[in-house]
Structure 1
């Protein structure tokens, strides 16, 4: 699975549903995403990960998508319900972390105990609350302008003029399409 880095963990979760195929459809896919997103440190056993976890993360993804969409002017039919659900999840305690000495003697992050689904959901839900209640971060929130691209990201560019999730993918497609339109007009 290729992980899109939007600049926020909650938007990264939303990005898993913006692709052509479901990226959190199995416990293995969710486990890879949790590790790739940094929600659990590398080497953390995910023994408690069961079939319920992907469904709960997909549900949270939908709620965050509705709220973020509403912030960007997209009508959301269940924004109030989504807000209530995200707030309820954000109220749960996140996983406890601690530092231990790694094999090389340096400090590494580990979890205090095996990760629980509710605690990991709380981390993502809190990130959504932080994003949506921070006026500066909210002002940087963008949706890719690429054709058929629904990815969301934070615009951290110097002039805040970023238009695409990826200049190499969506930006390049737009430049090629623009070139073809100009060539066809000649």
Structure 2
């Protein structure tokens, strides 16, 4: 089964250029982070234009308090994010991962991350507000899990003919085909239905 050690809910809402809102379960928190950017060269994905954008995304996703991002944090975040994105695409296409990207993920993963905490304790242990650098380390450690050999063959590109979205297939039987049933899965069903109807008409004629 796929490996993951970050107990943070995975998945996020996307809005298509046509204004259609749909849920994307990437299967990995690190992949969720990768999709804050132009993974695959599509500028429409970019969400981190300023430090405040990074702060907002981290605050929405982490169950603990994270400090405000600065310009340097944004630079670091985009560097890590883009490395994860390139690695995900390479894995989905069966290509060799860049050594420089692996080194970058390992570098961030080696720094202090956000420690796990049990609720209902009687005193504060450690920081009450975690740093952005700690959040990036947590994301990097999830990326280490994402590209673990245990996930070989499960990092895939959507089967939609016009879709290049990459996800981690966490299904038990490893049979996931679509980035989302709401999006590409539904489109495929509609196309199959139309094809069957067309064949039925042609046969009847």
Q: TM-score, normalised on structure 2?
A: 0.70
Q: Which has the higher contact order (CA 8 A, sep 6+)?
A: 2
Q: Does 1:118 align with 2:133?
A: yes
Specify the alignment match of 2:60 in structure 1.
36
Q: Does 1:72 align with 2:88?
A: no
Q: Does 1:84 align with 2:97?
A: no
How is 1:13-32 mapped onto 2 (pairs within 5 angstroms)?
Answer: 13-17=33-37, 18=39, 20-32=44-56
Shift of 1:117: 2.5
State which structure, 1 or 2, has the greater radius of gyration over its C-alpha atoms. 2
> Which of 44, 51, 54 is matched with 2:74 structurally?
54
Structure 1: state its 5+ residue gaps: none
The answer as to whether partners of 2:35 and 2:85 remain within 8 angstroms in 1 is no
Shift of 1:111: 6.9
Q: TM-score, normalised on structure 1?
A: 0.76
Q: Give the SS at the match of 1:68.
A: helix
The answer as to whether partners of 2:35 and 2:45 remain within 8 angstroms in 1 is no
Q: Give the SS at the match of 1:139.
A: coil
Runs of 4+ in 1 over 6 A off after TM superposition: none
The answer as to whether partners of 1:93 and 1:119 remain within 8 angstroms in 2 is yes
Q: Does 1:165 align with 2:179?
A: yes
Please say which of residues 116-125 and 17-26 is displaced more in the overlay: 17-26
Given the superposition, is the C-alpha separation of residues 148 and 53 from structure 1 closer, same or farther in structure 2, using an over 3 Å criterion?
Answer: farther
Structure 2: state its 5+ residue gaps: 1-11, 15-23
Specify the alignment match of 2:13 in structure 1.
2
Name the Cα RMSD after superposition.
3.0
The answer as to whether partners of 1:60 and 1:86 remain within 8 angstroms in 2 is yes
The answer as to whether partners of 1:6 and 1:152 remain within 8 angstroms in 2 is yes
The answer as to whether partners of 1:97 and 1:110 remain within 8 angstroms in 2 is no
